[in-house]
Amino acid sequence: MKILMVCLGNICRSPLAEGVMQHLIDAEGLDWEVDSAGTGSYHIGTKPDLRSIAVAKKNGIEISNQKARKLEKADLKNFDIIYAMDESNYGNIVALAENSEEEAKIKMLIPDESVPDPYFDESLFVPVFEMIHTQCVKLLKYLKNGKA
């Protein structure tokens, strides 16, 4: 299973989602791959936001080695499932889909709910981490049962 987490700049939400999901997958001993990307090219090559690194580390998850990258069309072919953090990013990912098979891979991380971008509001980093963690626990259970 290859999972891609996507937000806008790939420095706050999607690195947290990648780190949380990889941590959970590793704990289960699964040989799955998780990556993250951004729909924007603002931070290519940079580490996650220091506040994301801090909240992850506080919860026993290391994400400081990640590097931001931009979502590419090839990602829609290479990943089994792609999770968007909000409606805007969902729309941007869908716009890259070349067929219904690729479009079917794209989902909201939390159905019918956006994960808020904490970049401009430091008070959101802990609640965003908690939202992502809670949903990744649910998704892992769901995906292990062969559902997407």
Residue reference for tokens 């580490």: 47
Tokens (6 digits) for 137: 């626990």
| Helical (H) or strand (E) element with 100 | helix 100-104
**Catalytic member of 7, 35, 75, 136:** 7
pLDDT for the residue numbered 75: 98
Give the pLDDT confidence of 86-115 residue by residue, as tens digits: 999 999 999 999 999 999 999 999 999 999
Catalytic residue among 35, 75, 86, 117: 117
Q: In this prediction, what percent of the chain has a pLDDT beyond 90?
A: 97
Annotated catalytic residue within 12, 13, 49, 136: 13
Is 26 considered catalytic here? Answer: no
90-to-63, 71, 95, 122 alpha-carbon distances in Å: 23, 12, 9, 24
What φ, ψ does residue 40 adopt, rounded to 5°?
Answer: -105, 160
* Helix H or strand E encompassing 37: strand 33-38
Reply yes or no on whether 51 is catalytic: no
For range 50-70, the mean pLDDT: 98
Q: What is the pLDDT of residue 148?
A: 59
- Name the CATH architecture for the domain at 2-144: 3-Layer(aba) Sandwich (3.40)
Active site residue 136: no
Distance CA 88, CA 64 (A): 26
For the chain, the structural domain boundaries read 2-144
- Integer angstrom CA distances of residue 119 from 55, 62, 136: 13, 19, 21
d(CA 21, CA 16): 8
